Amino acid sequence: MNTHSQEVSRGERYGFGKNWKRFLRTMDEERVHEAERSLREMLQMETMAGKSLLDAGSGSGLFSLAAMRLGADRVHSFDYDPHSVACTKELKRRFFPQTDKWTIEEGNVLDVTYLSRLGSLTSFTRGASCIIRATCG
Ligand SMILES: C[S@@+](CC[C@H](N)C(=O)[O-])C[C@H]1O[C@@H](n2cnc3c(N)ncnc32)[C@H](O)[C@@H]1O
């Protein structure tokens, strides 16, 4: 059992990602459009061309997908919950299977070593301006 599962079973953490299979069954174009609209409104921009998104606590990955659809140059999604990571990877497989602009992995926003490694991702430190979306519960 990994650290995340142990914390969930001790009741110290809510297992957000456990519903990911259900989410994937109900995922449709309307939900993606709604996420795109919400992101455009939040960022006050019509397109994400020239921008990068660091999606901390990406959950299902819906907003990372929306950023890709809005033309982001680069998206990096991470989540502490392996189920959420699997869900995000499934969305990428469905919508952007070929791209290397969208990377996804397990990561903890409270882990300073992990965060400092992210800081060295060249796409996030050079060129495109970076938007960080952190919605960790
Ligand atoms: C409320 S959900 C938000 C999901 C998604 N960002 C959205 O807006 O739909 C919070 C997410 O943060 C993740 N999370 C919680 N603590 C975290 C941490 N320390 N590091 C990374 N992700 C974390 C959870 O696993 C969950 O997927």
Distance between Cα 110 and ligand 1 center (Å): 12
pLDDT at residue 5 in the model: 77
* Type and span of the H or E element at 127: none
Query: Taking CA 110 as the corner, what is the angle to CA 91 and CA 137, rounded to the nearest 5 degrees?
Result: 55
> Long-range contacts made by residues 106-113, C-beta under 8 angstroms, separation at least 24?
106/78, 106/79, 106/80, 106/82, 107/56, 107/78, 107/79, 107/80, 108/80, 109/56, 109/57, 109/78, 109/80, 109/134, 109/136
CATH of span 20-134: 3.40.50.150
33-92 per-position pLDDT tens digit? 999 999 999 999 999 999 999 999 999 999 999 999 999 999 999 999 999 999 999 999
Give the Cα separation of 58 and 47 in Å (integer): 20
What residue spans define the domains of the chain?
Answer: 20-134
Q: 110 CB less than 6 Å from ligand 1?
A: yes
Distance between Cα 137 and ligand 1 center (Å): 5
Q: Cα-flanking dihedrals φ and ψ of residue 46, to 5°?
A: -85, -30
pTM across the whole model = 0.86
Q: 16 CB less than 6 Å from ligand 1?
A: yes
Q: 137 CB less than 6 Å from ligand 1?
A: yes
pLDDT at residue 41 in the model: 95
Distance between Cα 136 and ligand 1 center (Å): 4
Task: List for the chain the helix, strand, coil content (%; round to 5).
Answer: 50, 15, 35
Q: 64 CB less than 6 Å from ligand 1?
A: no
